[in-house]
Structure formats: structure tokens, C-alpha cells
Structure 1
């Protein structure tokens, strides 16, 4: 069932975070503070998680890829239910549901055991 290689997942992580930062302005819900806050927190979480993950797109490589994928699924689920959890579903909910399902799916469909890069292997 796993389809996505880790490097592609890493590229998607950074693109996903950029889309999350820009979406409230592009989609016009930048005046719904809780909705924007959820997107910004999710984007920042994805960037930090990616920077510290031990995979091809990580910088500091301290977190295992399996943990990263689990957190993608937790983040995706939380983002998808956030409009109801924080009460802004009457103003906006589709972007949160779609991006949450995307994050959850990426975590579910990515290989976790491809090439392992240890800090000592980086020259």
C-alpha cells in the first residue's frame, strides 16, 4: 500500500507548508482568526517536523521517519476536525478538511524504511 518515496514526501512537506501559509489569503478566509491560526500552526509544525526528521529532506535529522509519518497522520486528523473542534465550521471548513485528509494520506502512503541517513554519513 505504501507508494510515496521519502524524498518525494519531503518535497511535498515543504510545498504543503507553503500552501498552508498562503491559503487563508488566496481563499479569502484570512479574517477568520481560528481558521488561520490552525493553518499557520499546522504549517509551522510541518516545517519543524521536516527539518528535524532523519530523511532526505531533513536538516538536523534527529527524529525517525516513522515518528514523522505518525505525526503527519495526527496533524492531518486534527486539522480535518479543527473547524468543529474550534467552532469556525460555519465560516469555513473545506480547506481544513481537504488539507487534513491530504496530510493524513501522505503519512499513511509513504515508505518509512527507505534509505536511512545518519548525521555521521553526511559529508
Structure 2
């Protein structure tokens, strides 16, 4: 049994969005990394707001589909510091690789088959 329920996953998603908005300033990331972080935060927020779980604003995206979308974002996050020249600084690299790791960790610990309202 996986310890992260749909409800908890939703809370984690919103905290992650806030972190992706705050972290670039707190870490002093360059402009391109800052913009990418804000873009991922916005995308995650929209997906989270529309997912079929308790913290959603409108429950339109099935929870398992949310998981597949989230899982696809991990390789994108991990690839950014290697394909975008301005992300090759150590802070930017560590930040995006860390985000990818957090996404993979949350994905692997989430019970994607659970009833969102349980």
C-alpha cells in the first residue's frame, strides 16, 4: 500500500506550486531558470486545480491521468539543465534535478488507484 492518498497528493501539488514560485528568488536562479520554474508552477497549478481529488477547484481530470501527466514532467525537468545553455549553472542544475526527483518520489509513493474521496 502506498502512503500518499489523492487528498495528500493534492496538498503536495499545491505546496510544490508555491515552492516553484518562491524558490527562484530564494535561490537566486538566473532569469531563464526563473521563467521555466514559473511556467512549471503555472502548469502544475492548472493540472492540480482540474484534477479529480478533494483540493481541486473543478474535478475534470481523472486522478490516474494526472499521475501520467506528472510522470511525463519528470524527464522534462531533469533534461532542462542539460539542454538549455543558461541552466548549466550549479544552482540551476541542482534545482531542476531536485524537482525531478521530488516529482518521481511523490509519483512512486502515491496510490493512483485510490478513491479520491476516501
Alignment TM-score, normalising by the size of structure 1: 0.85
Q: Contact 2:5–2:116 (CA<8 Å) still a contact in 1?
A: no
Q: Contact 1:72–1:106 (CA<8 Å) still a contact in 2?
A: no
**Alignment RMSD:** 1.5
1:47-72 deviations in whole A, cap 9, x for unaligned?
10011001111121110111111111
Partner residue in 2 for 1:3: 3
Q: Equivalents in 1 of 2:35, 2:43: separation in Å? A: 12
Q: Which runs of 5+ in 2 are unaligned?
A: none
| Distance apart, 1:97 and its partner CA | 0.4
Q: Equivalents in 1 of 2:74, 2:111: separation in Å? A: 17
| Distance apart, 1:90 and its partner CA | 2.7
Q: Contact 2:32–2:87 (CA<8 Å) still a contact in 1?
A: no
Q: Equivalents in 1 of 2:36, 2:108: separation in Å? A: 21
Partner residue in 2 for 1:80: 78
User: How many residues in Structure 1 have an aligned counterpart in Structure 2?
Assistant: 115
- Among 46, 61, 78, the residue aligned to 2:44: 46
Greater helix share, structure number: 2
Question: What aligned pairs does 1:73-112 form with structure 2 within 5 A after superposition?
Answer: 73-91=71-89, 92-112=92-112
Partner residue in 2 for 1:63: 61
Partner residue in 2 for 1:16: 16
